[in-house]
Amino acid sequence: MPLGPVFTPHSPEAQAMSALFGAFLVLATVIFLIVAGLVTYGIVRYRARAGAGEPRQTFGSRGLEITWTAIPLLIVTVLFVFTVRTMASIDAPLTPDQPADIVITGHQWWWEARYRNGADTANEIHIPVGRRVLARIESVDVIHDFWVPQLARKMDAVPGRPAYVWLEADTAGTYSGTCSEFCGMQHAWMRFEVIAEPEADFSAWLAREAIPPQPPSGDAAEGARIFQQQKCGDCHAVSPADTRVLPGPPLTHIASRRLLGGEIPNTAENLTHWILTPQSIKPGNKMMDPRLSAVDVGPLSAYMESLR
Amino acid sequence: MKTRAPLGMLLFLLNEAVFFFMLIGAFVYFRGSALATAARSLNLAGASIYTVCLLASSITMWRGVAAGSRGWLGATLALGAIFLYGQGREYWALFRQNVTIGGDQFGTTFFTLTGIHALHVLTGLLLLLVLLSGAGRRSALDSIALYWYFVDAVWIVIFAVVYLWTFV
Amino acid sequence: MKGLERWVSTVDHKEIGVLYMLTALVFFLIGGVEAMMIRAQLSLPGLNFLAPETYNQVFTMHGTTMIFLVVMPVLAGFGVYLVPLMIGASDMAYPRLNALTFWLQFFGGVLLYISFFAGGAPDAGWFSYAPLSEKAFSPHAGLDYWALGLLLLGSGTVGSAVNFIVTIANHRAPGMTIRRLPLFVWMTLVNSVLILFALPALNAALIMLLSDRLLHAHFFDAAQGGSPILWQHYFWIFGHPEVYIMVLPAFGMISEIIPVFSRKPIFGYGFVASSTLAIAFLSYGVWVHHMFAVALGRVFISVFAAMSMLIAVPTGVKIFAWSATLVGGSIRFTTAMLFAVAFLLEFTIGGLSGVAFATVPIDWELTDTYFVVAHFHYVLFGGTAFALFAAAYYWFPKISGRLMDEKMGRWNFWLVVIGFNMTFFVQHLLGLMGMPRRVYTYPNLPGWAALNLVSTFGAVILGLGALVFICNILASLAFGTRAGNDPWDAWTLEWAAKSPPLPENFETVPAVRSRRPLWDVKHPDAPDWAAEGGA
């Protein structure tokens, strides 16, 4: 049986939550066993015997009743203390006195991550290993919830109400995340990845993402023309300088991303498929069918492949 | 059993009190963003006049119950109608200033809160009308009176929160 | 035709009670079919049995149906049927209001389901979070039907709560003091007070949502200055007491059934009764634990965490009291008792996993995952539904005059217990593995497919168990053994009435001098009122 993310935390914040859950699990198991033991003892020992009359009528015991009120009270008091202490150690401030390193914005149904240097990407969040970064969680439409189970607490993305979380990973790797608040038709596939990489790799990635992609040439240039002609740019940015709030994810460096739609591998084949029939892979997404001919899709796909 | 009906009505009004508490709560919640429009467009003097009418109607209701008199109850009916007329005029004035439920947070909270209250007043008037026309049972009067006092009391709170608090 | 007219126009509390229960049973079948559709779609990753928009309608309707059209009406039905009998009254205080509130709830349910034929059922979840539930994001009329249907249901519920309180306040038999109320009546009373304070919050929120949707107001629309958080507060100010509203009468049923089949009075009536008051009181201070994932400030959240933990204490008091009632008894394992004992264990699991969500950092991991789905099904199915099965077997002879079949009862019990735990226990694990709830499908991550398949198989077994229950009702109505007035040798007043009771309930109400008037009648040598702690 694979261990769930709750038992494989990869940040101090997630480790604190995991430890508290472990302790809680032990406590809950003990309490359940006590109740189950009492019930089992009752039903085995006091089964009706044939011919037995009414048992002795007893009405309660004040001492016992007070005991099983007082002990749980004590237990929850201790639990409360640990709760408050753990909260304080993992929660980012409500209004931090430093600017956010990443602004993460929920859209129906994709995640945008914009960095302070202008880098802007979708469904893929890069962070440096071993350094805590401050993420600001926002939404432009309905309520979403940002959740990377192995790294950080859940945080609701409420429109008009930004919130903050610490994002940190103690090991390099790819951590899956998901929207955790029901947000409409494609809530299920509002998934994303957090990629934690060594500081040098992270810096290189960040710098690369913040500059405009190479101007297209050849087939890709023809694709760029079709992109313009089809008004794809009304919904998708292709330059870090484009800071409009758009319904579609930025395509600025789409070729450097691992996934399409937070769901399927970013291959030329899948990309072509998506452009030809935008509603087939993630039905309900906000992309209109451009009704392109197979002839046009090739160059457009080549243009996308050139954006790295 | 004489106490039966008023206990049921009292419990119903308890539920209504919580209901209005929530609606007034929403008004207060949005007060910050609604205050400017409120101060600009509300008519305190006009509202005071029809508020007095509604309060007076509680007194006539009380006399009507105590004396069992149709005249006092008729007066209650008239005063309640004046209240609604006054409120209607105020709505009209607001509409002409382009203050509507779909406008800003003031319009949203003001029209919902006072509109729901006005529906309660209207219900009270209809109940009274049924009673006066002889169709209702005389024993229902105690309950209707209780309802009427409640609706008036709620208006006092609404008037204080919506009007007085805006202009102090 | 004559029969139909009678049922439509009846104001008799027993007939209205039966109407409630039958309506709930029909909606239970519908809600059950919806549950099966959900489990079918989720049995394996990437299935296309339901389209995403259909799935969202189905899970919204499943939740709304089970809460508002099954649990609420069936509890009201048992209450309306039993409360007058248990307190020695001839009817509810307001018989016509009783009929009205039933029909309000009936047509509320009908209205909700008409939405399927009017452009689509509501699809924003039973909690309809704004702004997803606003016109801008849910333009079709489903949400309007949802809000209007719930307003009708809510008004009906308030009406029946008023009726219960006045009935219990004014129509008790001589000698039936408040401290001698059967615990089911006591918990129905406390429950009715909860309803009076909780339902108006929902009604106010629904009025505001309808203003937004139909009149272009903006209470909850952030883009226009509204506040989505206000909806959450208002909905959960209703919604958390609502959980106790769905569970307190079930506690009352268990408190009647366990003593009778243990042949002993409840262990510590006073603590069981007063812990109910504590739960009712605390239930208004815990709603924010549904919103711990919102950034609301640590101090604010801590207060609600403390209250949410505290409420576990009076709940625990009850579990211990019921368990201690078994000890020293002479236990008869009827199907009713089997369900009641299983309730103790299943509900304890649900109660304990509830404390996990009061422990804020655990909530930050697990809220809105399948762990929550597991948790509240242990509370509402393992708790309320198990109690309802027990209650059905226990009171069916009073209502119909015939016993339910015990052999089918065993099948019913074991299929439900096995199916239920198989369906929902694994969902704890899915939550711990990171599976979010309210998803129409999921990626094929390690372990997810296997556990979901187990859960779906469990649901099939559970469904079979429910079908056996319905067959048992139908078969027993026709062929069941005649029950007589008091088949369980019980102690509360309803067993002194005929089975089924006369239209006026009692010819003469036995004297009430203790909490167990019929024990006193049957044991004049050792009546409760003479025993210490008995009266």
Question: What pLDDT does C532 receive?
Answer: 72
Q: Which of B14, B101, B108 to mutate to test the interface with C (most CBs of C within 10 A)?
A: B108
How high is the pLDDT of residue A296? 87
Please give the Cα distance from A192 to A171 (Å, whole number).
18
Which of C97, C216, C230 is facing B29, going by the closest CB pair? Answer: C230
| Cα dist from A12 to A17, A166, A168, C331, whole Å | 9, 10, 8, 52
For position B2, what pLDDT does the model report? Answer: 45
Reported as a single tens digit per residue, the pLDDT across C279-303 is: 999 999 999 999 999 999 999 999 9
What residues in B contact C215, CB-CB < 8 Å?
Answer: 101-102
Nearest CA in chain C to B107: C217
Q: What is the pLDDT of residues C264-277, one digit of tens each?
A: 999 999 999 999 99
Contact A106/C at CB under 8 A: no
Smallest CA–CA separation between B30 and chain C, in Å?
8
CB-based contact C166 B23, cutoff 8 Å: no
- Identify the pLDDT of residue C1: 52
- Residue B136 pLDDT exceeds 70: no
Contact between chain C and chain B (3 or more Cβ pairs less than 8 Å apart): yes
Longest Cα pair distance anywhere in chain A, in angstroms?
Answer: 98
Q: Please give the pLDDT value at position A6.
A: 85
Q: Which of A134-143, A166-175, A258-267, C82-91 has the lowest mean pLDDT?
A: A258-267
Question: How far B12 CA lies from chain C's nearest CA (Å)?
Answer: 7
Per-residue pLDDT band at B1 (split at 50, 70, 90): very low
Judged by CB atoms closer than 8 Å, whether chains meet at A41 and C327 is answered as: yes
**Residue B135 confidence class, pLDDT cut points 50, 70, 90:** low
Query: Is residue B94 scored above 60 in pLDDT?
Result: yes
Tell me the C-alpha distance between C213 and C130, whole Å.
11
Question: pLDDT tens-digit profile of C405-446?
Answer: 999 999 999 999 999 999 999 999 999 999 999 999 999 999
Q: How far is C441 from chain B (nearest CA, A)?
A: 38
Res B4 pLDDT > 70: no
How many other C-beta atoms lie within 10 A of the C-beta of residue C49? 14
Q: Are C30 and C426 in contact (CB under 8 A)?
A: no
**Chain C: touching chains (3 or more CB pairs < 8 Å):** A, B
Task: Kindly state the average pLDDT of the residues A130-153.
Answer: 96
Beta strand residue intervals within chain A, DSSP E: 102-107, 110-115, 120-122, 124-128, 133-139, 144-147, 155-157, 163-167, 173-179, 191-197, 259-260, 264-265
**Residue percentage of chain C with pLDDT more than 90:** 96
- Output the six-digit token pair for C100: 């009205």
Kindly determine whether residue A154 and residue C367, on different chains, have CB atoms separated by under 8 Å.
yes
pLDDT at residue B3 tops 60: no
**Residue ranges covered by each domain of chain B:** 5-167
pLDDT at B141: 87
CB contact under 8 A, C208 and B26: yes
At A293 the pLDDT is 85
Does C317 contact A184 at a Cβ distance shorter than 8 Å? no
Q: How far is B109 from chain C (nearest CA, A)?
A: 8
- Predicted local confidence at residue A52, as pLDDT: 79
Q: What integer best gives the mean pLDDT of chain B?
A: 92
Token pair, residue C344, equals 């103790």
Instruction: Average the pLDDT over B93-100 and give the result.
Output: 94
Average pLDDT over residues A171-191: 96
Contacts of C235 (CB under 8 A, 6+ apart): C127, C128, C129, C201, C202, C205
Write down the residue that tokens 């168990």 correspond to.
Answer: C465
d(CA C495, CA C290): 42
User: For the segment A209-265, what is each residue's pLDDT rounded down to a tens digit?
Assistant: 999 998 999 899 999 999 999 999 999 999 999 999 999 999 999 999 999 988 899
pLDDT band at C505 (very low <50, low <70, confident <90, very high): very high
- Res A308: pLDDT: 84
**Shortest Cα distance, chain B CAs vs residue C234, angstroms:** 8
The Cα of A149 is separated from the nearest Cα of chain C by a number of Å equal to: 7
pLDDT tens per residue across span A288-307: 888 888 888 999 999 999 99
With an 8 Å Cβ cutoff, are C265 and A58 in contact?
yes
Measured between CA atoms, how close is A119 to chain C, in angstroms? 26
Q: How far apart are CA B143 and CA B120, in angstroms?
A: 14
Query: Which chains does chain B touch, 3 or more C-beta pairs < 8 A?
Result: C
Q: What is the mean pLDDT of residues A12-18?
A: 95
Q: Is the pLDDT score of A200 beyond 70?
A: yes
> Of the CATH numbers 3.40.50.620, 1.20.210.10, 3.40.1190.20, 2.40.50.1020, which one belongs to the domain with range C1-175?
1.20.210.10
Residue C196 pLDDT more than 90? yes
Query: Are the beta carbons of C122 and C166 closer than 8 angstroms?
Result: no
Which of C288, C273, C278, C218 has its CA nearest to residue C244? C278
- What's at B125, amino acid-wise? L
Q: Which helix (H) or strand (E) holds C281?
A: helix C269-282
Q: Which of C258, C357, C362 to mutate to test the interface with A (most CBs of A within 10 A)?
A: C362
What was the pLDDT predicted at B6? 86
CB contact under 8 A, C432 and A4: yes
Task: Tell me which of B1 and B153 has the higher pLDDT.
Answer: B153
C114-134: pLDDT as tens digits: 999 888 899 999 999 999 999
- CB-CB neighbors (< 8 A) of C136 in chain B: none
Report the pLDDT value the prediction gives residue C534, as an integer from 0 to 100: 67
- Check whether A1 has a pLDDT greater than 60: no
Asked whether the beta carbons of residue A2 and residue C294 sit closer than 8 angstroms, the reply is no
Give dist(CA C207, CA C209) in Å, integer.
5
**Non-local CB neighbours of A223 within 8 Å, separated by 6+ positions:** A216, A298, A299, A300, A301, A302, A303, A304, A306
What's the rounded Cα separation, in Å, for the pair C464 and C335? 17
pLDDT at C480 over 80: yes
- Count the residues in chain A: 308
> pLDDT > 90: what percent of chain A?
88
For an interface test with A, which of C236, C359, C518 has the most A Cβ atoms less than 10 Å from its Cβ? C359
Mean pLDDT over all residues of chain A? 94
Domains of chain A, first to last: 5-42+62-90 (no CATH), 102-209 (2.60.40.420), 219-306 (2.60.40.420)
* Continuous H helices in chain B: 4-29, 31-41, 44-67, 70-96, 105-132, 141-158, 165-167
Q: What is the CATH number of domain B5-167?
A: 1.20.120.80
For B113, nearest residue in chain C (alpha carbons)? C208
**pLDDT of B32 over the 70 cut:** yes
pLDDT at C193: 97
Residues in chain C within 8 Å Cβ distance of B23: 204, 207-208
Give dist(CA C501, CA C494) in Å, integer.
9
User: Which chain C residues are closer than 8 Å to B108 by Cβ?
Assistant: 211, 217-219, 226
Omega before residue A215 within 30° of 0, cis: no
